[in-house]
């Protein structure tokens, strides 16, 4: 097990110094960081979006509380979670393969499976590994129940499945497995009454998931979220079936042969439907040895949510490698189980073990190379654009990475190409915002402010949040470098812009900022109102909360 952990740390070591990815990672830092408004209660309160994943949100919340969102530690967390899962795969394999080399091979295959590099290297990819931790712990207890004949371990697995579901909702698909294991025990044990009680208890405990499913799909501002998701498919029933089989076949192929690795998979060939049908037919031919077959079916079952994501356009890409993290864990367990059975029966172990170890060595090299790629947004997006050249969103991210490196001409060219490719108004607005950044590069403060105001238009209330924020930033910069008469004009505009932004974001920091501006204008009553409301609405731990309270108290005393 120690050797497996060293392998994980070795192949993913470069990821420790990975960049903060501009897709989702930045949003995580903003949501849970110093200006975040989420409290601990908010994290566990359903209704903030389509997904209810409080355990993942809690991990990001603690990242800020404990180590101020240090990116090295956040990447290390992902690697350690993966290491824990590799250890669990090894321990599960020992339950039904004994103390042989095969449990180690199972753990090693999972440790260096290239398809898992996205989930481990990407901070935002933590969802699947964290959910897998609890699912694999539940699996360990289920196999321990079979090995020892003690059915109470089945009951122990149920709360672990619930925790897995609180990390990612698709974990509830694992629910039939405890029931299958209960039936397995009924067949193995002589005391059928005891086993039947286990089965009944498992079925009753499964009812715990009913309120969870309700929370996932019918809560808060997204009360009809599942209905909204289901509207995403405009295909005919026949096309839906063929497309689903293509996606299923693509993932099945990817779990066996994951290359080429791609961060943004935007299309899947319809020929993969043949692979999908073949995999389904092969299930009827595979030997139904209880542990390995159950694990194989579980692996394929966890591909189904990824198929649904593609069919109903839930994600920003058609397919994603991180969705195979959980399936790959069960798949490696299943395959090494079958390999163990075959070699035991044939009595020849050397060649299968040698081939498996060779595959692991090659995979480790690919994972190490992929970890290096994730160190730089520029190189990651360059690789992704080469593999998905028609994807405007990724080309825009590539352009931004170029701009951040000071390569303006190249960045502008990529933005131009992205603008031609996109059909989305939302993506087009983002691209135009980045084009504006190129336009203002090297300009003076006054010239930049004039360009932003021209793009914003006359009516600020109808202006974009991004342009308003930019104008606000430049107004602040000019505030310290202008005449007193001009300062009053800038402060008036700043207060107006900040009020508009607060009406959209409800960020209490904006109230605190306006309180300071009103103090500069000498309007202590408005300053008091803003500081008071900022203090009342700011989350505990916000860096400005204590200052808002002190200023409100000071102004309140002066008023009296």
Cα(519)–Cα(537) distance, integer angstroms: 20
pLDDT for 65 equals: 92
Query: Is 419 within the bounds of a domain?
Result: no
pLDDT reading at 210 higher than 80: no
Number of C-beta neighbours around residue 92 at 10 A: 27
Cα(64)–Cα(364) distance, integer angstroms: 32
DSSP secondary-structure letter at 259? P
Task: Give the highest mean pLDDT range of 104-118, 178-192, 336-350.
Answer: 104-118
pLDDT for 47 equals: 72
CB distance 114 to 261 below 8 Å: yes
Of 340, 373, 406, which closes a domain?
373
Query: Is 237 within the bounds of a domain?
Result: yes
Structural domain count of the chain: 2
Query: Is 16 within the bounds of a domain?
Result: yes
Q: Which two tokens stand for residue 207?
A: 């009812």
Query: Is 407 within the bounds of a domain?
Result: no
pLDDT reading at 208 higher than 90: no
pLDDT for 152 equals: 78
Work out the pLDDT band at 426, boundaries 50, 70, 90. confident
DSSP 272-311: HHHHHHHHHHHHTTS---HHHHHHHHHHHHTTHHHHHHHH
Query: Is 96 within the bounds of a domain?
Result: yes
pLDDT for 40 equals: 87
Cα(89)–Cα(485) distance, integer angstroms: 70
Average pLDDT over residues 386-394: 96
Cα(508)–Cα(232) distance, integer angstroms: 35
Q: Cα angle vertex 86, ends 82, 87, to 5°?
A: 120
pLDDT for 224 equals: 47
Cα torsion angle, 123, 124, 127, 132, sign: negative
Say what the pTM is. Answer: 0.86
Cα(267)–Cα(142) distance, integer angstroms: 38
CB distance 39 to 99 below 8 Å: no
pLDDT top residue among 350 and 326: 326
Backbone torsions φ then ψ of 46, nearest 5 degrees: -70, 160
pLDDT reading at 294 higher than 50: yes
Query: Is 110 within the bounds of a domain?
Result: yes
- Pairs from 355-358 (Cβ < 8 Å, separation ≥ 24): 356/105, 356/109, 357/105, 357/108
Work out the pLDDT band at 202, boundaries 50, 70, 90. low
CB distance 95 to 143 below 8 Å: yes
79-83, 118-122, 307-311: range with lowest mean pLDDT: 307-311
Name residue 222's beta-bridge partners: 219
pLDDT for 190 equals: 47
Average pLDDT over residues 278-282: 93
- HEC letters along 476-510: HHHHCCCCHHHHHHHHHHHHHHHHHHHHHHCCHHH
* Residue pLDDT, tens place only, 432-466: 999 998 999 888 888 998 999 888 887 888 888 88
- Average pLDDT of the chain is 88
pLDDT top residue among 435 and 559: 435
Of 346, 373, 400, which closes a domain?
373
Of 373, 390, 413, which closes a domain?
373
pLDDT reading at 353 higher than 60: yes
Average pLDDT over residues 418-425: 92
Whether the link from the prior residue into 243 is cis, omega within 30° of 0, is no
Query: Is 495 within the bounds of a domain?
Result: no
Cα(14)–Cα(373) distance, integer angstroms: 9
Work out the pLDDT band at 191, boundaries 50, 70, 90. very low
pLDDT for 230 equals: 58
- Report how far Cα 234 is from the mean position of its chain's Cα atoms: 26
Cα(408)–Cα(435) distance, integer angstroms: 10
Work out the pLDDT band at 213, boundaries 50, 70, 90. low
pLDDT top residue among 57 and 461: 57
pLDDT for 141 equals: 92
Query: Is 415 within the bounds of a domain?
Result: no
**Which domain does 67 fall in, by range?**
2-373
pLDDT reading at 430 higher than 70: yes
For the chain, first and last CA: distance in Å?
69
pLDDT for 209 equals: 62
């Amino acid at each position: 097990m120690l050797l497996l952990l060293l392998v994980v740390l070795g192949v993913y070591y470069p990821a420790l110094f990975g960049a903060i990815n501009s897709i989702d990672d930045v949003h995580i830092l903003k949501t849970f960081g110093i200006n975040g408004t989420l409290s601990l209660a908010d994290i566990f309160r359903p209704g903030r979006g389509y997904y209810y994943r409080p355990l993942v949100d809690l991990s990001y919340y603690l990242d800020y509380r404990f180590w101020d969102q240090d990116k090295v530690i956040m990447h290390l967390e992902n690697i350690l979670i993966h290491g824990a899962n590799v250890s669990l795969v090894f321990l599960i394999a020992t339950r039904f393969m004994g103390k042989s080399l095969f449990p180690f091979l199972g753990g090693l295959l999972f440790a260096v499976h290239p398809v898992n590099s996205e989930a481990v290297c990407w901070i935002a990819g933590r969802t699947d590994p964290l959910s897998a931790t609890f699912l694999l712990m539940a699996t360990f207890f289920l196999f321990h129940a079979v090995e020892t004949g003690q059915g109470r371990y089945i009951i122990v697995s149920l709360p672990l499945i619930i925790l897995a579901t609180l990390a990612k909702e698709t974990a509830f698909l694992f629910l039939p497995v405890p029931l299958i294991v209960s039936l397995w025990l009924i067949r193995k044990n002589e005391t059928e009454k005891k086993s039947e009680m286990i089965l009944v208890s498992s079925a009753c405990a499964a009812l715990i998931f009913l309120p969870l499913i309700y929370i996932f799909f019918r809560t808060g501002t997204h009360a009809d979220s599942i209905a909204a998701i289901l509207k995403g498919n405009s295909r005919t029933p026949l096309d839906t079936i063929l497309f689903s089989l293509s996606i299923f076949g693509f993932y099945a192929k990817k779990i066996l042969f994951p290359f080429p690795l791609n961060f943004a998979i935007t299309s899947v060939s319809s020929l993969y439907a043949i692979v999908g049908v073949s995999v389904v037919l092969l299930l009827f031919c595979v030997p139904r040895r209880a542990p390995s077959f159950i694990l194989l079916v579980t692996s394929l079952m966890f591909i189904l949510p990824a198929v649904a994501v593609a069919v109903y356009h839930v994600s920003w890409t058609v397919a994603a490698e991180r969705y195979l993290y959980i399936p790959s864990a069960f798949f490696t367990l299943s395959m090494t189980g079958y390999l163990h059975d075959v070699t035991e029966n044939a009595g020849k172990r050397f060649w299968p073990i040698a081939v498996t170890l060779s595959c692991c060595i090659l995979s480790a090299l690919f994972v190490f190379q992929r970890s290096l790629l994730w160190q730089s947004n520029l190189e990651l997006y360059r690789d992704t654009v080469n593999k998905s050249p028609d994807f405007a969103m990724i080309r825009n991210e590539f352009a931004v990475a170029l701009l951040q490196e000071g390569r303006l001409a190249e960045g502008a060219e990529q933005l131009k190409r992205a603008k031609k490719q996109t059909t989305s108004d939302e993506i087009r607005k983002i691209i135009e915002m980045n084009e504006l950044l190129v336009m203002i590069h090297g300009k003076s403060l006054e010239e930049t402010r004039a360009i932003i105001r021209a793009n914003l238009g006359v009516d600020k209330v109808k202006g974009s949040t991004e342009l308003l924020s930019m104008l606000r930033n430049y107004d602040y910069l000019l505030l310290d470098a202008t005449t007193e008469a001009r300062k009053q004009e800038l402060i008036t505009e700043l207060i107006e812009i900040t009020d508009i932004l607060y009406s959209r974001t409800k960020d209490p920091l904006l109230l605190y900022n306006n309180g300071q501006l009103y103090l500069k204008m000498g309007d202590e009553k408005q300053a008091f109102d803003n500081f008071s409301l900022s203090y009342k609405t700011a989350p505990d731990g916000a860096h400005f909360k204590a200052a808002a309270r002190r200023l409100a108290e000071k102004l309140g005393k002066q008023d009296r």
